[in-house]
Structure 1
């Protein structure tokens, strides 16, 4: 398959085309995280803490399945039609979420948003190599786009907390309509449509996509229901997930149009980068979706105060991404940048796990800043490294897999954190209430959302016991996040040094 030849873009054409790509990616990046700080308020209003994790993971699961599908379809048909369709789907799903009157409707709307977001991520990132065939020019735009995606992704929690406090949680979804309209205009008007020329029969690995959905969906349910459902149901879900993963492995080995090409996964560097995306995504999404619960339910901050604490996460990611983009092409070994990022992220998670119930505002702020700085040095590099090392024929699917595996990590990380919080919170709460002789209050405090919004039946001593139990439960999860960062450091050390810029041509001797 070859990309159709096309004339080079003028600076104005390139700028307007990249503005369209940036705006549609901003929709996806923002909606992955903007809901995090609004979740405690949403769940309290719609009465559905049992579906707390599904508001996040429903989006992630739908995105995971659609990113590789549309990454591959974009290779066949060109990217622009899918960018347009994805933006329309995303806007319609946002309207559904804004009007939701129950948690089930909200989860369905979030899943539809995930389909639109997956289409956007699977196609928009791969537009850059088509628009800019020159290596140096492409690298500059890749760095800019990846930095923008990371920054907007991080702005989400702070923006969500601010809008929830001042305009209500539904405004988080209404925001997508004007942004989506603007993105639609620029993508429709200025994004070129390059249609690949191919004489091959176009095939899609729909069975592989279905197996991915079954394997991850069953695994998510297994993790969330472990300890809350019958042993028979949990065993059945675990077996279903295992069988689906095994079937997926055989399917991808024999499929002529595999979503996970064997030649791509055979490359050692690609496997390392994909593993790092999985680990980094697990830590990032766990922080983004559960820090609001920790700050509001555990430490008693309001949504607006929690937003003030989480907003520096965006600022430090921005700072890290800017510094990273300025120095990465000048370093002989750019691998040191994500290495430092994972070390900083691991230290921040460990600090959050150890500070305990007496942590002050400034302590939490400093640790959150450190976590954001680490993330700023991770995701930009993973995306750029992948597009630098991969063969051109696998560019679309490799870019899509890098984003997909980040979301797979987020899916598994948030699901595991949700299961840990449910089990450990109930256990610690029962212990503390028994010591205080207040076992009759167990039912009142069973839902940790009551810690965020209070209750007329809760006395200050009971509220303090509940908050201590929640902090102690979440400390275990944050400690595991620190362990994942340590594993990522060990994995990253196996990645050969990435040469971002092509070697300069040797000067030719002058003719006599």
Structure 2
């Protein structure tokens, strides 16, 4: 799997030779030099001006802002959606505010990695900032739902680059896995923070100002990130000195178009299926068929491209393929739990939206603790597989404990189970990324980094769609077991389509319906547990990278 510290060679004069610990506060006044990017050979000519520790901290603050904003715009609109829909009188189009962002955000993940190999990390990060800025301005100034949805897609195009390029830049700067772990944990910290404060900020803006500030808040932050990266990041690529026409000629245009189109078809089918249209409708079946045709064409095209946007060699590498599989499975289960644990709290436990969010916070706390802990232990235990195996064991245990959730489960058990689950997630997420980076060829580091995030996002999107189908079908089966008189009362209250209506049912009916809901959630968690277990089993076949 991942190489030991000795087996990962660093070019002379890199940060690997002059370690600095900006998190532990250890004093080191020596100037630091940025290392050769992992995607380049040691002979490439680079501009590597000395960087002091304060400048390095500012650089990472700029990177933190980028990843923070990319994830913030996923969660901040959650509490603002009803108000936005009301202002535009477009309730039926409300879901597209989130879907448009996620479609663009997911589809472009693998593209940024390859294009940044051609044009350079810095210029692509700057471009992502500008696109995100334009999208945010357009969203804030939107005069119609159509305009808002369009600019949310533009935002997603920029947010995709902000996330993937931060990971790639850090991978370039640090060649040793233990150093990379320490600094890439900043990205996961940004995601954890944004997932907590995003919905709270959205609620504050809606109640005390306007929902438009959910987008305007991005303007000063993304501008600051742009300025800091422009000022401090001076790692240059040899390819940047070639002609623009030569760079443009290297882009795998057909591969890009096929990759984006296939992902959009898949995500649209999963988003619409079972909600907007029945799963057996001609539109959903057609989307799946087009996806299969496009993905087949993509595989054929990429096998013949000189610089493929998704190199087939990555999937031919058995160990990389296994890591990508684990990343997809964890994304599937993680997003399912993220969506449906709060629903369990709200429907079965009868708590408010705010309280359900607070009860889910231990998941984020566990994720932050384990991610930070792993980044510091990486130097002592350099085999990334140990962290993946440990994380999957803990994650599987946490998800398995969720099967005990019932109508009267004590709050302490709820919080404890969620905390265990989060602790396992933190160990798996970033270490799957490190494993991909270490197992892929040096020239494919940027693509492997973005591809890992892309596969995880695909798994997450599939997870949300499948979980919705599982919950709905199981709930209908459970309610069908009730006496006909009770079923009629449930239908009259519309307690199937509107989960909040369960609270309005008479006590004699509500207890039975709550148990039906609780059993449906338990069934979902019962499915999740072996999925994580399968991921653990698959990860055991990852081989450790040999010393070179």
In structure 2, what is the equivalent of residue 176 of structure 1?
A: 218
Question: Structure 1 CA distance, aligned partners of 2:379 and 2:86?
Answer: 47
Render the CA deviation track for 1:201-242: whole Å, top value 9, x for unaligned.
642223223323333333334445545425433332332222
Q: Kindly report which structure 2 residues correspond to 1:379-390, keeping only aligned pairs within 5 A, or say none.
A: 379-390=429-440
Render the CA deviation track for 1:470-499: whole Å, top value 9, x for unaligned.
443333333322222111101100111357
Q: Which of 119-128 and 224-233 deviates more?
A: 224-233
1:205 paired with 2:252, answer yes
Residues 1:393 and 1:364: Cα distance change in structure 2 (over 3 Å):
same
1:313 paired with 2:355, answer no
1:259 paired with 2:309, answer yes
Q: Which of 464-473 and 354-363 deviates more?
A: 464-473
Q: Which of 61-70 and 219-228 deviates more?
A: 219-228
1:10 paired with 2:51, answer yes
Question: Structure 2 CA distance, aligned partners of 1:47 and 1:477?
Answer: 35
**Helix, strand or coil for the counterpart of 1:255?**
coil
1:345 paired with 2:399, answer no
Are the aligned partners of 2:68 and 2:194 in contact in 1 as well (CA < 8 Å)? no
Residues 1:320 and 1:217: Cα distance change in structure 2 (over 3 Å):
same
Residues 1:58 and 1:275: Cα distance change in structure 2 (over 3 Å):
farther
**Helix, strand or coil for the counterpart of 1:168?**
helix
Question: Structure 2 CA distance, aligned partners of 1:224 and 1:110?
Answer: 17
In structure 1, what is the equivalent of residue 336 of structure 2?
A: 286
Are the aligned partners of 2:315 and 2:321 in contact in 1 as well (CA < 8 Å)? yes
From 155, 159, 168, the counterpart of 2:197:
159
From 121, 125, 142, the counterpart of 2:180:
142
In structure 1, what is the equivalent of residue 32 of structure 2?
A: none
Which residues of structure 2 form unaligned runs of 5+? 1-39
**CA drift at 1:334:** 3.5
Question: Structure 2 CA distance, aligned partners of 1:498 and 1:468?
Answer: 50
In structure 2, what is the equivalent of residue 117 of structure 1?
A: 159
In structure 2, what is the equivalent of residue 480 of structure 1?
A: 527
Which residues of structure 1 form unaligned runs of 5+? 504-512
Are the aligned partners of 1:224 and 1:418 in contact in 2 as well (CA < 8 Å)? no
Question: Structure 2 CA distance, aligned partners of 1:95 and 1:451?
Answer: 38
Are the aligned partners of 1:158 and 1:310 in contact in 2 as well (CA < 8 Å)? no
**CA drift at 1:83:** 1.4
Q: Which of 153-162 and 196-205 deviates more?
A: 196-205
**CA drift at 1:416:** 1.4
Residues 1:446 and 1:45: Cα distance change in structure 2 (over 3 Å):
farther
Question: Structure 2 CA distance, aligned partners of 1:286 and 1:175?
Answer: 29
From 457, 464, 468, the counterpart of 1:414:
464
Q: Kindly report which structure 2 residues correspond to 1:229-378, keeping only aligned pairs within 5 A, or say none.
A: 229=278, 230-331=280-381, 333-378=383-428
**CA drift at 1:58:** 4.0
Are the aligned partners of 2:118 and 2:250 in contact in 1 as well (CA < 8 Å)? no
Render the CA deviation track for 1:289-336: whole Å, top value 9, x for unaligned.
333333223432222212211222121111101221122221264412
Question: Structure 1 CA distance, aligned partners of 2:192 and 2:134?
Answer: 24
Q: Which of 222-231 and 63-72 deviates more?
A: 222-231
Question: Structure 2 CA distance, aligned partners of 1:466 and 1:100?
Answer: 42
Are the aligned partners of 1:296 and 1:451 in contact in 2 as well (CA < 8 Å)? no
Question: Structure 1 CA distance, aligned partners of 2:152 and 2:471?
Answer: 22
Residues 1:87 and 1:473: Cα distance change in structure 2 (over 3 Å):
farther
Question: Structure 1 CA distance, aligned partners of 2:141 and 2:464?
Answer: 25
Residues 1:123 and 1:423: Cα distance change in structure 2 (over 3 Å):
same
1:93 paired with 2:135, answer yes
In structure 2, what is the equivalent of residue 495 of structure 1?
A: 542
In structure 2, what is the equivalent of residue 27 of structure 1?
A: 69
Are the aligned partners of 1:276 and 1:492 in contact in 2 as well (CA < 8 Å)? yes
RMSD: 3.4
**Helix, strand or coil for the counterpart of 1:383?**
helix
Q: Which of 211-220 and 421-430 deviates more?
A: 421-430
Q: Which of 219-228 and 397-406 deviates more?
A: 219-228
From 224, 229, 238, the counterpart of 1:196:
238
Residues 1:65 and 1:317: Cα distance change in structure 2 (over 3 Å):
same
Q: Which of 59-68 and 36-45 deviates more?
A: 36-45
**Helix, strand or coil for the counterpart of 2:358?**
helix
Question: Structure 1 CA distance, aligned partners of 2:400 and 2:286?
Answer: 35
Question: Structure 2 CA distance, aligned partners of 1:86 and 1:392?
Answer: 24
Q: Kindly report which structure 2 residues correspond to 1:501-512, keeping only aligned pairs within 5 A, or say none.
A: none
Are the aligned partners of 1:317 and 1:375 in contact in 2 as well (CA < 8 Å)? yes
Question: Structure 2 CA distance, aligned partners of 1:432 and 1:311?
Answer: 35
Question: Structure 1 CA distance, aligned partners of 2:95 and 2:534?
Answer: 25
Residues 1:385 and 1:434: Cα distance change in structure 2 (over 3 Å):
same
**CA drift at 1:342:** 1.2
Render the CA deviation track for 1:43-88: whole Å, top value 9, x for unaligned.
8998988778765554333222212211111111111122122223
Residues 1:184 and 1:262: Cα distance change in structure 2 (over 3 Å):
same
Question: Structure 2 CA distance, aligned partners of 1:197 and 1:232?
Answer: 47
Q: Kindly report which structure 2 residues correspond to 1:32-43, keeping only aligned pairs within 5 A, or say none.
A: 32-33=74-75
In structure 1, what is the equivalent of residue 33 of structure 2?
A: none
